[in-house]
Amino acid sequence: MTINTTDGLVRLRNYTLDDCAILDDNPETLESDRFSYFGVPVPNRLRRLVDSGEAFPKYGDLTGRLAVEAQGEFVGGVSWHPENYGPINAPAINIGIGLIPAGRGKGYGTEAQRLLVDYLFNCTTVYRIEAGTDVENIAEQRSLEKAGMLREGIMRGCHFREGKYNDMVLYAVTRADFEAARAARSGTKVSTGFTASR
């Protein structure tokens, strides 16, 4: 599976064993990425998933992960999982991203998240995609906004990191928002398939 930007600068693709080696050489530490460090990682976890084929999402999967490649080089990964709100099985999807230091600050994260949102709305039936980030992670907040997500609010004390509970900012985009933005770019009429009338 491969998903490209129109200019080919950033693409999402399945992980390879070479990607696993790069991640092994760039472990998350408190010093290298304080927003993604949650303790010592499980050794070879991703490598086992790649070896078994479990790391490769299928179209329509509500859980998955893909590698981020920029200018032909592996720079990190994106992931997604369902978030249920209520007893009806109609989950939102929560997305996340992690880039190695060489991939940060160049706009790759924004493009990767934009590609992932586009992929999920085009290949799943999900209506809402969301992402949360630490209130101090200004770079990721800007990235999510540039990727088309709207800031919805603060989730107080929901994120344990660095020995304390931290606040997070919640961002989201609905299918209606996504289709309206796409229609505005192309000049076409929006048709979401949903209606509020009876």
Give the amino acid at 194: F
Radius of gyration of the chain (CA): 17
Q: Which residues pair with 98 in a beta bridge?
A: 77
Q: Taking the alpha carbons of 182, 184, 189, 190 in that order, is the dihedral positive or negative?
A: positive
**Is 198 domain-assigned?**
no
Q: What is the mean pLDDT of residues 65-71?
A: 95
Distance in angstroms (rounded) separating the CA atoms of residues 87 and 81: 17
Q: What is the mean pLDDT of the chain?
A: 87
**Is 22 domain-assigned?**
yes
Q: Is the pTM of this model over 0.95?
A: no
**CATH code: domain of residue 144:** 3.40.630.30
**Is 65 domain-assigned?**
yes
Amino acid 1: pLDDT: 62
**Is 87 domain-assigned?**
yes
**Is 160 domain-assigned?**
yes
Domain count of the fold of the chain: 1
For residue 87, give its domain range. Answer: 2-186
